[in-house]
Structure 1
Amino acid sequence: MTNPFDTVSADAILDGTATDAYFERTERTLEHAGRNPRVVAEVTCDQFPTGEFQAFAGVEDAAQLFEGRDVDVDALREGRLFDGGPVLRIEGPYLEFARFETSLLGFLSGASAFTTNALRARKAAPESLVLSFGARHVHPAITPVVERAGLVAGLDGFSHVAAGEVLGREAGGTMPHALMICFGRGNQEAAWAAFDEAVGEDVPRVALCDTFTDEKDETIRAAETLGDALDSVRLDTTGSRRGDFRHIVREVRWELDARGHEDVGIFLSGGLTPESLRNLRDVADGFGIGGYVTDADPFDFGLDIVAVDGEPVAKRGKLSGTKQVYRTPDGRHHVGLAAADAPADAEPLLEPLVRDGEIVREFDIDEAAARARADVEAVGFE
């Protein structure tokens, strides 16, 4: 069956036709001339440290891209924070990987940007429940990339069912405004009660409380309807009706407490940013973060040859020679030539990923998240 959606197949990525046309013409030209030098190529965003750290992701996809090819690849580990210098290095005959540059940069650029913004959200509310709600802002084919980015950044879960199947994690979520509207104005109680009766016991009873009347009114009614079964209320008020959101949340908390529902949480969603989370984290228990993560601008990674047949070379504006990057004891990032002495007590960050076409690294989301947490503290991220 022909793919009915505008997506590129996995086969096209792996056979290299998911590429820019000029790489095909480069291959043809080099083959015609009988040239295929052994090169070192590096993926970088900034040449030198700038003091602004970003998170690295997309590494597993990059490894799969080079499996079975006559190349060696070194890369930062997933979740590590970087600041200038190479994040990935390839060594081998140029024609072994020339046509894969486009897909490689796509794998790294989007995933790293999503992870970095998710990490900023996590940092903004470190003690709160923070979930990824951004799947609706991207093409369905890349929702696992978004949700994995959130997990690597330390978010507590996500909403997309198919992404969960890919990642081996269960998606979460309760009710949208559409459910409330289908029951009709004035019938909010019927909607909440039907939900409570219909879903499994393992699903939290989180009542959406801002559909037809104000947040305080619907919260009181939801608490009266569900009683002790109510776990949380969710406020997803559109920005044009939100007013002083912090004050609204404080009112909702007051009314819940006044009726003996001190254990009922308040969960917020809808257009939230790290600034929102910092402003609301002391009055709310959890957040759904969406567009802030998925709207992240892809990183401007580039792949450049820095050595040919053992000799350093690079285009103007790039640094020639094979490099290593280090984390120094003071949390800084250091870029140096691989053959030079490392800074004292520094940790080298480029590590083997592929050797002679064989993937030599395992990938674990929880380990990547732990790595990101450690780096956040080490470098003073944001």
Structure 2
Amino acid sequence: MKFNVASESEVLSAENSDVYFQRSLSFLKNKKFNDDVIAEVTVSSFENPWINFTGLDDVLSLLEGRVTDLYAIPEGTVIPYRDIRGIPVPFISIRGNYRNFGMHETSLLGFICQSSGISSSSSMVKLAAGDKPVFSFGIRRMNPFIAPMIDRAAYIGGAEGVSGIKSGKMLGLDPVGTMPHAISLLLGDEEAWKAVAAGTKKGPVTVLIDTFEDEKFGALKAADLIPKLDFVRLDTPASRRGNFANIVREVRWELDLRGHEKVKIMVSGGLKEADILELSNAGADAFGVGTSIASGKTVDFAMDIVDVHNQPKTKKGKLSGAKHVHRCPDCGMVEVLPLARSRETCKCGGHFEDVLVPYIKNGKVIRREKPSEARARTINLLKRFYLRQEV
């Protein structure tokens, strides 16, 4: 390898796992004991009260043939990480021989911890943006080897589009992009805008208007120059920004005043969730969000054995025994119960659904979902249970 990353074969062979798994399993190699276990993946705390769970698809590729059964909460499920009583929610439940999958804990957790953090951040941004589109522009801030994972998680989390070429191919999307400042530096604004307009065969014509110009006058010049202009993009640097929302208001006012009501405003450049609603109210129509989605806070999932040879057993601080995760589709309440117990009806009168569903049975993957299906689940759950404004 020319780059400082693990190869796919090294991940599958557990060569990039924490060494103590390798050492511990080597100690057990010649021991005769029954190591059929149930292990669960939970999280004790997170900065938000809920998580958008993603990364499962890679876990299935990792564990197929290594575990007997795997149950999981589907990707794109937006759910509290603790139930109504404060019991940690199992996101994955694994049944199998510990010697066959214990070495892969490092990679298993890595697949879901980072991805779920990104998808959760994307969902927070999408909630703030409402029915206005959000585009994932953050892959340039991260290791290029994981760019498709970043865009996949951002898309499932609610982003309408992604910028990565490879990501677009994997997701079945046309990647989204406007124009870099470099084109204006090479050609000058007007020639750059004309080139972008002429070269845009699919999707909206969007030009960046603040490389040299004042945003208001740049927007008016571009709108006058390009009859089929759809968007002006404001990417004003922080050193020139002042009050970004007021700049957006100015641009919107002047465009409308001069007959360019159909020209929309896209904003980008260091945007955070807290900025989105204010900019939307000021007149922004679309948001290019990079680092704050791509660097979403990692979810600290942990995997723990909860049952050994059909006997509930775990370490202190954890809850032993396999579990159900019930959720009411009417009110959204979540309740975790021991596997031997069940509850059909919620206090609100709704009928509980078990959200832990089978993905691997007898060592074989029996279910996979398209990213578009997971994203649809996200949008549905955000609308039903977490809406602050229309999504």
TM-score calculated relative to the size of structure 2: 0.91
Q: Give yes or no for the alignment of 1:192 onto 2:193.
A: yes
Tell me if structure 2 keeps the 8 A contact 1:53–1:81.
yes
Tell me if structure 1 keeps the 8 A contact 2:231–2:266.
yes
Q: Compute the displacement of 1:203 (Å).
A: 4.5
Q: Compute the displacement of 1:140 (Å).
A: 0.9
Counterpart residue identity of residue 42, structure 1: E
Q: Structure 2: how far apart are the matches of 1:52 and 1:17?
A: 35
Specify whether residues 124 and 287 from structure 1 end up closer, same or farther in structure 2 by C-alpha distance, changes over 3 A only: same
Tell me if structure 2 keeps the 8 A contact 1:208–1:233.
yes
Q: Give yes or no for the alignment of 1:371 onto 2:377.
A: yes
Q: Structure 2: how far apart are the matches of 1:158 and 1:286?
A: 13
Between 1:126-135 and 1:146-155, the stretch displaced more is: 146-155
Name the residue aligned to 2:275: 276
Tell me if structure 2 keeps the 8 A contact 1:272–1:290.
yes
Name the residue aligned to 2:178: 174
Q: Compute the displacement of 1:350 (Å).
A: 0.7
Q: Structure 2: how far apart are the matches of 1:195 and 1:374?
A: 36
Between 1:275-284 and 1:261-270, the stretch displaced more is: 275-284
Alignment gaps of 5+ in structure 2: 83-88, 346-350
Name the residue aligned to 1:88: 92
Superposed CA offset, 1:89-113 (max 9, x none): 1111111101110000000101111
Q: Give yes or no for the alignment of 1:357 onto 2:354.
A: no
Q: Structure 1: how far apart are the matches of 2:50 and 2:4?
A: 34
Q: Structure 1: how far apart are the matches of 2:240 and 2:33?
A: 65
Between 1:201-210 and 1:49-58, the stretch displaced more is: 49-58
Tell me if structure 2 keeps the 8 A contact 1:36–1:94.
no
Q: Compute the displacement of 1:343 (Å).
A: 4.9
Name the residue aligned to 1:310: 310
Q: Structure 2: how far apart are the matches of 1:373 and 1:256?
A: 32
Q: Structure 2: how far apart are the matches of 1:242 and 1:70?
A: 54
Q: Compute the displacement of 1:63 (Å).
A: 0.8
Specify whether residues 169 and 50 from structure 1 end up closer, same or farther in structure 2 by C-alpha distance, changes over 3 A only: closer
DSSP 3-state at the match of 1:339: coil
Counterpart residue identity of residue 163, structure 1: S
Tell me if structure 2 keeps the 8 A contact 1:73–1:355.
yes
Alignment gaps of 5+ in structure 1: none
Q: Compute the displacement of 1:67 (Å).
A: 1.2
Tell me if structure 1 keeps the 8 A contact 2:34–2:309.
no
Q: Structure 2: how far apart are the matches of 1:371 and 1:201?
A: 31
Specify whether residues 179 and 300 from structure 1 end up closer, same or farther in structure 2 by C-alpha distance, changes over 3 A only: same
Tell me if structure 2 keeps the 8 A contact 1:69–1:356.
no
Tell me if structure 2 keeps the 8 A contact 1:174–1:203.
no
Superposed CA offset, 1:136-169 (max 9, x none): 1111111111111122122110111122223332
Q: Give yes or no for the alignment of 1:143 onto 2:125.
A: no
Tell me if structure 1 keeps the 8 A contact 2:154–2:294.
no
Superposed CA offset, 1:169-227 (max 9, x none): 221112111111122xxx32122123333x1422532111111121012112212221x
Specify whether residues 82 and 290 from structure 1 end up closer, same or farther in structure 2 by C-alpha distance, changes over 3 A only: same
Q: Structure 2: how far apart are the matches of 1:50 and 1:268?
A: 26
DSSP 3-state at the match of 1:217: helix
Tell me if structure 1 keeps the 8 A contact 2:359–2:368.
no
Residue 25 of structure 1, aligned match among 23, 28, 34: 23
Specify whether residues 50 and 341 from structure 1 end up closer, same or farther in structure 2 by C-alpha distance, changes over 3 A only: farther
Counterpart residue identity of residue 190, structure 1: E
Q: State the Cα RMSD in Å.
A: 1.8
Between 1:357-366 and 1:88-97, the stretch displaced more is: 357-366
Instruction: For 1:228-307, list aligned pairs within 5 A.
Output: 228-282=227-281, 283-307=283-307
Tell me if structure 1 keeps the 8 A contact 2:55–2:112.
yes
Q: Compute the displacement of 1:378 (Å).
A: 3.8
Q: Compute the displacement of 1:303 (Å).
A: 0.4
Q: Structure 2: how far apart are the matches of 1:50 and 1:13?
A: 29
Identity of aligned residues (%): 38
Tell me if structure 2 keeps the 8 A contact 1:174–1:204.
no
Specify whether residues 50 and 136 from structure 1 end up closer, same or farther in structure 2 by C-alpha distance, changes over 3 A only: closer
Q: Structure 1: how far apart are the matches of 2:209 and 2:200?
A: 21
Q: Compute the displacement of 1:255 (Å).
A: 1.8
Tell me if structure 1 keeps the 8 A contact 2:67–2:97.
yes
Name the residue aligned to 2:10: 12
Number of equivalences: 374
Q: Structure 1: how far apart are the matches of 2:323 and 2:387?
A: 24
Q: Structure 2: how far apart are the matches of 1:143 and 1:115?
A: 14
Name the residue aligned to 1:76: 73
Counterpart residue identity of residue 144, structure 2: P
DSSP 3-state at the match of 1:304: strand
Q: Structure 2: how far apart are the matches of 1:51 and 1:203?
A: 35
Tell me if structure 2 keeps the 8 A contact 1:174–1:206.
yes
Specify whether residues 381 and 359 from structure 1 end up closer, same or farther in structure 2 by C-alpha distance, changes over 3 A only: farther
Q: Compute the displacement of 1:45 (Å).
A: 0.2
Between 1:203-212 and 1:231-240, the stretch displaced more is: 203-212
DSSP 3-state at the match of 1:32: coil
Superposed CA offset, 1:6-43 (max 9, x none): 11111111122221111111111111223351001000
Q: Compute the displacement of 1:127 (Å).
A: 1.4
Specify whether residues 224 and 374 from structure 1 end up closer, same or farther in structure 2 by C-alpha distance, changes over 3 A only: closer
DSSP 3-state at the match of 2:92: strand
Runs in 1 of length 4+ with deviation above 4 angstroms?
A: none
Q: Structure 2: how far apart are the matches of 1:79 and 1:70?
A: 23
